[in-house]
Amino acid sequence: MKFSKVSQLFLVSVIGLVVASLLTACQIVTIDILFVASSTGISTFDVDSESGAIRTGQPTVPSGGTNPVAMAVSSDYANLYVANEGSSSVVHFSVAGNGALSSKDTVSTANAPVALAVNPANTYLYVISGTSSATLAAYSLSSGTIGSAAATVPLSLSSVSASFAGDTLIPTGVDVLANGGGVFVTAYDQSAYNPGGSVTSTANPGWVFGFSVGSGGTLIPAAGSPWKAGIKPTAVASDPTNRFVYVTDFASNEMIGYTVQSGDALDFMVNGPFKTGNEPSAIAIDPRGLYIYVANSLDSTVSAYVISLSTGTPSAAVNVTGSSLNATDTQPEAILVDPALGRFVFTANHLGNSVSGFKLNATTGTLTTTLSAPYPTGDAPTALASVPHGNHSTESVTP
């Protein structure tokens, strides 16, 4: 049987449409842009919406200094801030829709910056710094540009005891509540906890400091601040409803939970602290406020927890293997949950020179390794940040 030319043209068109549909169905759809800080700069990766697998995105850019150790993004996802410990600077980048970074402005810090946080209104950038002292600074932000410091507060244990006033505090983490009203900083007292060195203080080693944000960005110490936080707190995170704060204790292999009281004061969860893996180094809470993920640097694992919405108590989320631990590459130092879907978890593995990826079960909180993970990065990655791609809605809880 012979086809007319019209029939042949129609058949070719149909075949072309089918092939195009198949190609479209197989096309990777980017749901998030993932930024990774390493000794080679800030690398950009695209996150696949279905599998969570990542692939190289925009070209790597210099961090604007040396030894980048922390990153934070604005709540509108238009700005990225990078803390460079080696050059005592914080660099501001604008974020394009395709994830391309453009360096905008830089602020020098008196001491090496350690961690960053941006308030939800994008009006203040909180920077903690110091390798022999601890200082919290609130820099004003205007359309992403870093301005002058609206407040600078040295951290001290003088309110605990006058005899501890001269102790050396080493800052480790900073977090701002979802309502922007409270700021929390973790630090440990090197005068009381100094493995391999001398100890000159009888103070409790680990602490979390709390501040309320006043007019013009002033930082007002919360009543009862600081609060004990184990031996060597390494990271701090709060839930999106402003009710709970969690701190990881590197030296005790545990997580400490607090409830937020009026005036941004903290009170211990009575059933804590909670066991983690060995040497927990970083913590992340999913944008729905349902799950906690802790990166354990010595174990090279991630611990998963389900949050009790009434009490804030975390309980281990057990995988089908019967374990609450999920293997990463070597020495994870940073962790985040993707902001677009809240379905993927990533760790920056310092000694593995890689990123590990996991798919988050939104019903149970358990994790499964993403396709082809871990993914190679620059040397010695230390920090992660992420923004949604395009017009995708974000998963979040409105307090």
> pLDDT, tens digit, for every residue of 289-299?
999 999 999 99
- The alpha carbons of the chain give a radius of gyration, in whole angstroms, of 23
Residue 14 lies in a domain: no
Amino acid 321: pLDDT: 81
Q: Which domain range does residue 305 map to?
A: 28-388
Residue 43 lies in a domain: yes
Query: What CATH number corresponds to the domain at position 376?
Result: 2.130.10.10
Mean pLDDT of 320-333: 92
Contact, 55 vs 71, CB < 8 A?
no
Name all contacts of 241-246 with Cβ < 8 Å and 24+ positions apart. Answer: 241/178, 241/289, 241/397, 241/399, 242/177, 242/178, 242/179, 242/181, 242/182, 242/399, 243/312, 244/269, 244/307, 244/312, 245/175, 245/184, 245/208, 246/283, 246/285, 246/292, 246/314
Which segments of 124-243 are extended strands (E)?
A: 124-129, 135-142, 145-154, 169-176, 182-189, 206-213, 219-221, 227-228, 233-238
Percent pLDDT > 70 in the chain is: 91
Residue 17 lies in a domain: no
Residue 210 lies in a domain: yes
Mean pLDDT of 278-290: 97
Going 57 to 62 to 64 to 69, the CA torsion angle's sign is positive
Q: What pLDDT, in 10s, does the model give residues 163-212?
A: 999 999 999 999 999 999 999 999 999 999 999 999 999 999 999 999 99
Amino acid 149: pLDDT: 97
For residue 22, pLDDT beyond 90: no
Residue 92 lies in a domain: yes
Instruction: Read off the pLDDT band of 398 (50, 70, 90).
Output: very low
Residue 181 lies in a domain: yes
Instruction: Read off the pLDDT band of 394 (50, 70, 90).
Output: low
Mean pLDDT of 64-92: 98
Phi-psi region of 281 (alpha: psi -120 to 50; beta: other; left: phi over 0): alpha
Distance CA 222, CA 200 (A): 28
Percent pLDDT > 90 in the chain is: 87
For residue 33, pLDDT beyond 80: yes
Distance CA 224, CA 141 (A): 29
Specify the pairing of strand 219-221 against strand 227-228: unpaired
Amino acid 145: pLDDT: 98
DSSP 8-state secondary structure symbol assigned to residue 270: T
Mean pLDDT of 315-334: 92
What's the domain count of the chain? Answer: 1
For residue 13, pLDDT beyond 50: no
Distance CA 10, CA 1 (A): 16
Residue 395 lies in a domain: no
Contact, 71 vs 116, CB < 8 A?
yes
For residue 11, pLDDT beyond 80: no
For residue 58, pLDDT beyond 70: yes
**Using CB atoms within 10 A of its CB, is residue 103 exposed (0-12), middle (13-18) or buried (19+)?**
middle
Q: What pLDDT, in 10s, does the model give residues 99-115?
A: 999 999 999 999 999 99
Phi-psi region of 7 (alpha: psi -120 to 50; beta: other; left: phi over 0): alpha
Instruction: Read off the pLDDT band of 324 (50, 70, 90).
Output: confident
Of residues 384, 326, 327, 374, the one with CA closest to residue 353: 374
Q: What pLDDT, in 10s, does the model give residues 100-158?
A: 999 999 999 999 999 999 999 999 999 999 988 899 999 999 999 999 999 999 999 99
Amino acid 93: pLDDT: 98
Mean pLDDT of 84-109: 97
Residue 1 lies in a domain: no
Of residues 128, 136, 151, 126, the one with CA closest to residue 74: 126
Distance CA 368, CA 165 (A): 47
Q: How far is C-alpha 200 from the chain's CA centre?
A: 33
Mean pLDDT of 72-80: 97
* DSSP-assigned beta bridge partners for residue 207: 187, 228
Distance CA 99, CA 94 (A): 9
